[in-house]
Homo-oligomer: A and B are copies of this chain.
Amino acid sequence: MLTSKNLLGVIALSTVIGLMSYLTSLCARRQNNNFSAMNSSFVSSVWCNYGQSGEKICRFQNLCYNSRFQDFQFILTDESVVSGVQNVSEWMNIDMSTVLEHNAFKLKLSILSDTNKFKRLVYHKLPTFILHRFKPDNIMHVIHDDLIPLYTTMEAISDGTVPFNQKFGLAFSDNYSTTALDEWYQNFSAAPLIRLMSTNETVCFSNAYIGLHRTTVWFRYGFKQVQGPYYNNNFNSQVIRNFVNFNLEIRRETFHSDCKMNSKQIKIIVLSRSQTRRILNMEFLVKAIKKACTKIYPNNKFDIVQIDISIHSINFILCQIRQAKLIVGMHGAAMILSIFLPSLSGIVELFPFGINPENVSFLKSLLEQHQQYPLYYEPWINIERENSVAGMNTNPLLGGISHLPQHEQNTIKGLTQVPAVKCCHDPTYLYYMYHDTFLSDSIFEVIHKCLRKTQINTFDKNVLLSKLVFPASPAFLMCVVKENILSVDWGELSNAQENVGLWFQITVQFGEHVKNFNIYDSASTMFATHIDNYAEATEVWLQAFNNKNIGGIIKHTRCLSVTE
């Protein structure tokens, strides 16, 4: 039963806990009362554009973050421009992250009238992107969720004149503090990174961008649906290559001094993990690599470099990768750095027993879904249970299952393949994923196969062109009617040479009649026919098709009527 004594006690307790952050922020605010009050003509506006999958890319003018309420405040008056968001549900549905099917990253907006004279404590004039990051301490998430989409969005909204790392600032509304990966973000910001959650001030932006393009997202993390590849029809792998070049360009100065290139050596990188999901027979792996290298590149010296991202600096790692012919590494976040390999290099990704690359590998998803990415990929899977060793850690988040009932432990241990799972704490998935692995003889064949591919370029060329080309409009279109003979005459197509097997369709309308004529001769530039029911308002349309029957841009004209 609910007694008043109990009730009050509980309320009092939760109230005390709840008010703590509130009071802290109030105090912080009082200290700053000497700042000037917001000017009365401070009005917010917003313009949202849309990406191809409907994601909003919004520019806000005069948007403030209020640390006390942890929300973004928008001063809405009749002088506000509100473009691209037409109702309340659209306002509440602006994503601050590209992570798919996750609701925690919506912009928290508070609409206020201009009677709110809140103190303006910090005012940023540099146009600033505001992100709510998912896992900024994980290099794979940093690159896939945040930086490639940020790069794409900056490119899509920029006018192409100013390098955008000199043009935009970067702010975060998540509550992560400094991480070892901050320099990755810093390279995209012309000002120091802004962590909104760690200020006690109201932070205003004269121009804030919220929302990122999702065209480069290729992996889903298992929210609402199981994790795995995300097929993005609009994906263009050149964006990833541009992203790589952009990052290298920014680091160019360091590279010049620190990074000595040796082009005659075949460099192979082993990406190792020191804490979990370890390779337990590293020397065996090194032997296998040496053997494969000697077979494939018998005339070159080679250099095997072992890299651990928890130890080595990013610049050192990138310098090594830029020279590498092959990366061999255990599946994990660090493998994303393979995108920095030179074109036509190879990747061998290793998977613990029971783990299916199809479900978990963002790298396989990237390289196999988008076959134009010029890297060769081979997975190696441990198929022998006896070569798989449970980690020492009993933490359930690192694969420990000792906290589970014995029969559940037995079920998990009896599995031979982990199915695709939803995020984030599936014990079966974590159990197998954190196993260490003894590599077996089969690793040699996989490395050998991958290295062999690096000898020749087997990538198709002009893939985009053959996918997207269509006949252009003919240079001109003329039509003359004389004594019941209709004669049509057209100019060449500016891209005739790009279209194989051109043919033409002529549509003639005279009075109520419509007739189509197909001309299967790519060299044709004229056509004539009888018209029985001649009418003055004869019109013709010409459309060229290529051998894939892709119709081009239609040209139209009215016919001239000529009497002798």
Contact = CB atoms under 8 A, between A and B. Distances in A.
Interface in A231-253: 233-234, 236, 238-239, 241-242
A156 B526 contact: no
A249 to B, nearest CB: 16
Contact of A472 (B49, B108, B241): B108
B13 A562 contact: yes
A480 B10 contact: yes
A466 to B, nearest CB: 10
A71 B474 CA distance: 9
A491 B14 CA distance: 12
Interface in A418-464: 461-464
Contacts of A463: 78
B87 A468 contact: yes
A476 B18 contact: yes
Interface string A38-56: 0000000001111110000
A553 B463 CA distance: 45
A495 B66 CA distance: 12
Contact of A462 (B59, B71, B77): B77
A127 to B, nearest CB: 4
A161 interface: yes
Given A49-B57, A50-B50, A528-B2, A18 B490 contact: yes
Contact of A127 (B2, B160, B242, B477): B160
A487 B6 CA distance: 10
A159 B59 contact: yes
A21 interface: yes
A21 B79 CA distance: 51
Most buried by B among A87, A468, A529: A468
A311 interface: no
A218 to B, nearest CB: 14
B21 A468 contact: no
A61 interface: yes
A2 B528 CA distance: 9
A462 B78 contact: yes
Interface string A76-103: 1111111110111001100000000000
Interface string A403-424: 0000000000000000000000
Contacts of A494: 66, 68-69, 71, 73, 110, 112
A66 B365 CA distance: 40
Given A234-B84, A465-B113, A15 B489 contact: yes
A472 B111 contact: yes
A70 interface: yes
B14 A78 contact: no
Contacts of A81: 155, 236, 238-239, 242
A384 interface: no
A248 to B, nearest CB: 16
Contacts of A77: 462, 464-465
A127 B161 contact: yes
A80 B238 contact: yes
A244 to B, nearest CB: 13
9 contacts: A47-B155, A52-B86, A76-B465, A77-B464, A83-B213, A88-B468, A88-B550, A113-B497, A125-B161
Interface of A: 1-2, 6-7, 9-11, 13-15, 17-19, 21-22, 47-52, 57, 59, 61, 66, 68-71, 73, 76-84, 86-88, 91-92, 106, 108-113, 115-116, 125, 127, 152, 155-157, 159-161, 167-168, 206-207, 213, 215, 233-234, 236, 238-239, 241-242, 372, 461-465, 468-470, 472-473, 475-480, 482-483, 485, 487-491, 493-495, 497-498, 526, 528-530, 550, 552-553, 560, 562
Given A22-B491, A83-B239, 5 more contacts: A11-B528, A69-B494, A83-B236, A108-B473, A157-B157
